[in-house]
Structure formats: structure tokens, C-alpha cells
Amino acid sequence: MSDYAEGKSRWWGWGNLDQRFDVENRENIMPFMRESLGMSLDGDRFTDPSLEEIDLPAPRLGDDVLAFLKDLCGPDGVAVDRFQRVSHSMGKSYRDLLRYRQRRIERPVDAVVWPREEREIGEILRLAEEKNLAVIPFGGGSSVTGGVEPMGEKAGFISLDMARMNRVLKVDATSHTALIQAGALGPELEEQLNAHGFTLGHFPESFDHSSLGGWLATRASGRQSTGYGDIEDMVLALRMVTPRGVVDTRKVPSSAAGPSVLQLCVGSEGYMGVITEALMRIRPVPRVLDYRGLLFRDFAAGVSAVREMMQQGLVPTCVRLSDRAETALAKAFRSTTGPKWKRKGEEAALRLLASRGYSFDDGAFMVLGLEGEQDDVDYLRTGILQLCRRLGGFHLGTSPGKQWYRSRHETAYFREQLINWGVMVDTLETATTWDNLLHLYGEVQGALRSALEEGGARCMVACHLSHAYPEGASLYYTFFAPMAGEGEEEAQWEKAKKAASEAIMEYGGTISHHHGVGYEHAPWMRREVGEISIEALHAVKKVMDPADIMNPGKLLP
């Protein structure tokens, strides 16, 4: 019924219990991290929590409410047990992972409910209005902005888990569209589309643990968004159940009928209603996946290459360019097992690179992914590699690209170990136009460093460019530092986050390119869209959800 099954999912952290980051076969990573952070990494700051350790108050919903919900959604459709409540009360941000390890859930949901159809959602919202309950739409629970966490003063909190509304309702092979229920997780949705020869092409890092509704509600971008587009480009129409009626936009490829109600619902973060289904554009499953690596002497040269390929119409499916710090980190991340001859070959390759003046310790690594028909991939590859060579890029062949592709969902698991060892680790992202990209890159990095290094601590700030457009790109930061003393952990993180957010606003970025707003980014929304726009969004909220039952406390300052 739900992706959240006890014994299967790591409710206090990332992903599935049977998956973990494989440190053992990467012999360079620990020395690298120790050196970078100036810490031994052998302590046990935290241990994984068990459910029983969580101090959880009794659910505040009356028996009448629970009976109503059971009657409505079936006996399997409601849960108040410890596992479901705990796993639905927070997302997967650093702050969340920290609080789970501190056995601390300040604001738990009181019940989880799994509707099967729109009608049931309408009834749940009616009940919530009547009983002054908050309803928090829940897809895969992978929010890193606090999007699924209870907030505000309500008589109770219901997590509305969309897991049972996970079907592809219709595949239209003529129009290349599919009508998909919002609760479908990445793998569920792709499996159903693949059976018809199609793909959505939306593959965020959270792919296994996030849903179509969540992607739409947060304006997500997949790692192949440069080719397939961001989620807001992929949606033709949607339905959203609000406490005051259903928003239902026309199923057309484009329209001039006034302001875009569709794009008002996209990004609405469950704060105005529950997205229940959407008409999505789909694409034929690509016959060829061609992933390669390139190395540039510095970040700026690589940035120019990405800019030029986008502006010349040589648009790759996926392009990621790591800065110096992330390139060195990627090298340390590489698996060091395998046959001796292979490792010897790699060492020889590194010597060759060095002789040409390229190095993973002082360079910018690019992953280039091309997907499609062989002809198109060949045409693009020829043009892009030529362009990169002209701008000083060294073509490393397919091996590093394939390696990135294979392990692209693995690194997210490393956080689990790091946090337990006492490392603060988080990511944040923004976007800007090309003319401002290197400037913003430096300012945000500087702001993070200043915040983290205060008091003489060491830290590591790595960045990559991804999600490219002809006019600009996203910048994605990962930052690490020795965790502050007990009780200071959140404040340490908040300080860094605030410094970066201030720099983003000051130097021409957006507060989020694809993580969304939740409550983490809400304080910056006023500067993002202006006072009058905030008031307008509040007014929309008031119309659709006058009793403020939908995901209160999120999105707006």
C-alpha cells in the first residue's frame, strides 16, 4: 500500500534499509574527508534510532474522526501506529535527519490516511474543516525544505499519503501524453509508461522516493532536465482538489486563456489543495544512453562549454560540471576495488592527463549524457565534443560517464554515515543567468565558507552546475563541516543556510531552483517575488482554503 513499510524504509534517513553507501570499497574517501575536515571520523556522534526511542504523544484525533476515516478509506486506509506517524512527520533535510537521531519529533502527525480516489480526498478535506484539522499532502516524503512537517495551531494533523493513487490512467501514444495519478512514485510511474514504450524523463536524485504530485507541488527538476525539461515544462494540465472545489485545467498543449492557473498550482506545495492527477508529456524510451566524462582545467572553462552548447542548440540530455572541490571529491569517491589491470590502466590514464596539464585534484569534471535515437545522439556528440575540445575540455571517454550513471543514486546514502560520525552535511541550490553565474558561484561559496569556518573550523564546500538552459543554469552546493557541539547542531546549520540564502538573494539567484520552498525558504519569498505577489498568493489561498487546513505554515512568509 505504501512505500513506507517498516523494516523496508529508513524512516530516520534516506532510502531503503537494505541500501547503504559502500565506504569499504572506496579506500580514498575516508582519508580525503579526514584531511578536508580535520577530524578523525572514528567517533560515534549518533546512533540510528529505534522507533521505541521516539517520544511520541498519543494521537489527538477522536475515535469519531478515525472511524469516519476508516469508513471512508477502508480499514487499511488509516494508520495511527508509531512507524507510520513517525515516518510521515518529517522530510529528509539535514535538520530532519538530525532530529530523528536526537529522537526528537516536536510536531508529529496524528494519523496517516491513504485515499483511493478524489471523492475520498474531498471528504477528508470537509472533515478537516469541520474539526479544525490540518491536512498535509504526502508523496514520497523526500522533502528537504520541511514540506511535509506539521506546523501551526490545529486540533490535529493528518498526513494524506497519496500512495494508493499511483496509476497511469491513460497513455496516449498519438499525442505523447499520459494521464497519471499524483501518488505514483518514480519507479511505479516509469514501469507503467515503459510498458507502452514511453518515459516521463524525470529522474531526480530522489526518484525512488518521490511522487509525481510531489514533483509538481515543488517544481522539481530531474537530473536529465536539460534535455527533458523541468517538471513545470512537462505538465499540460492537472486536477487539484481544494477545500472549496476542484481546479481542473484544459487538457491542451498551450493556451492564451488568461493567467496560467496551471502554473499557479504547480509549486503550490499542498498549501492550496491536493494535486490528484496530471496530463504529462511523455517521450519514447531512448534507444541509446551515451554517458561520458570530460575534464576541464577549471570551472570557468567548463561553464563556457555548457553555455555554448546550450546556445548553439546542441542540447544534451544531462550535463553536470563539478567545480574544483567537487571534482577532487568525485575522485576520492571512486571505487577502488576491481581487477589490478583496471586500476593500473586508470593510473596510466591519470599520468597521461597530468602530462597534458589536467588533473582531478585541480580541474572541473563534466558528465555529459545524451539519450535518444542513435542518429541524434551521434549528431549531438560530434558537435558537443568538438565544442568542448575547442574550449580546452579533455574527453575521458564513456567509462567515467557510465560510472556516474551507475552510482548516481548512491551518494545520497553517504549522509547517513557522515551524520552519525559527527559531520554536518547538506546541499542547497539556486539558478541564475550566464552573465552572473561565476559571480554568484563565488559569493555563495564565500558566504558558506565564512559561516562554517567561524572559530577556525575547517569545512568543504563543493559545487556543480547542472540543469542548463540557453540563458543560464542551476548551481548546486554540497557543504560539509565538523558538527558543532551538542545542542548547537541546528544553530550551526541554520547560520550556514541563512548566509547562503542571503548571498543568493543579494547576488541575483533564486531561493530555489528545484528543491521548492517548504518552510526553510519561506522567509525569502518576499524578496523573491515582492510584497504584492505575496499578498496575491495569500488571497488565492484564502479562496481555495479559507480555513487554512492545507499544509499550514508553508510556502509564504
| Residues 136-195, interacting with its own copies (CB under 8 A) | 172, 174-177
Subset of 55-74 contacting its own copies (CB under 8 A): none
Q: How far is the CB of 279 from its own copies (least distance, A)?
A: 8
Q: Which of 528, 550, 552, 553 binds its own copies (CB under 8 A)?
A: 528
Distance CA 475, CA 321 (A): 10
Q: Does 476 participate in catalysis according to the annotation?
A: yes
**In this structure, what C-alpha cell is assigned to residue 442?**
563565488
β-sheet bridge partners, residue 158: 111, 135
Instruction: Name 378's Cβ contacts closer than 8 Å, sequence gap at least 6.
Output: none
Q: How far is the CB of 222 from its own copies (least distance, A)?
A: 12
Distance CA 447, CA 450 (A): 5
| 466 sits near its own copies (criterion: CB under 8 A) | no
238 backbone dihedrals φ, ψ, rounded to 5°:
-150, 165
Among residues 349 and 529, whose Cβ is nearest to its own copies?
529
Q: How far is the CB of 313 from its own copies (least distance, A)?
A: 6
Give the residue from 555, 550, 540, 553 showing the smallest Cα distance to 243. Answer: 550
Q: How far is the CB of 72 from its own copies (least distance, A)?
A: 22
| 256 sits near its own copies (criterion: CB under 8 A) | yes
Instruction: Decide if 231 contacts 202 (C-beta within 8 A).
Output: yes
Q: What is the DSSP string of 343-396?
A: HHHHHHHHHHHHHTT--TTSSEEEEEEEEE-HHHHHHHHHHHHHHHHHTTPEEE
Q: Which of 25, 40, 194, 263 binds its own copies (CB under 8 A)?
A: 263
Q: How far is the CB of 301 from its own copies (least distance, A)?
A: 15
Q: How many CB atoms lie within 10 A of CB 64?
A: 10
SS (H, E, C) 281-347: ECEECCCEEEEEEEEECCHHHHHHHHHHHHHCCCCCCEEEEECHHHHHHHHHHCCCCCCHHHHHHHH
54 backbone dihedrals φ, ψ, rounded to 5°:
-75, 130
Among residues 56 and 246, whose Cβ is nearest to its own copies?
246
Subset of 497-526 contacting its own copies (CB under 8 A): 508-517, 521, 524-525
Among residues 58 and 256, whose Cβ is nearest to its own copies?
256
Q: Which of 166, 474, 492, 501 binds its own copies (CB under 8 A)?
A: 474
Instruction: Decide if 513 contacts 430 (C-beta within 8 A).
Output: yes
Give the residue from 528, 514, 449 showing the smallest Cα distance to 476. Answer: 514
Q: How far is the CB of 164 from its own copies (least distance, A)?
A: 25
Subset of 275-334 contacting its own copies (CB under 8 A): 281, 307, 311, 313
Q: Which of 264, 289, 349, 457 binds its own copies (CB under 8 A)?
A: 264
Among 39-47, 87-95, 204-212, 425-433, which window interacts with its own copies (CB under 8 A)? Answer: 425-433
| Annotated catalytic residue within 4, 476, 507, 519 | 476
Q: How far is the CB of 213 from its own copies (least distance, A)?
A: 15
| 356 sits near its own copies (criterion: CB under 8 A) | no
Subset of 378-417 contacting its own copies (CB under 8 A): 379
Among 128-136, 293-301, 338-346, 468-476, which window interacts with its own copies (CB under 8 A)? Answer: 468-476
Q: Which of 91, 472, 552, 553 binds its own copies (CB under 8 A)?
A: 472
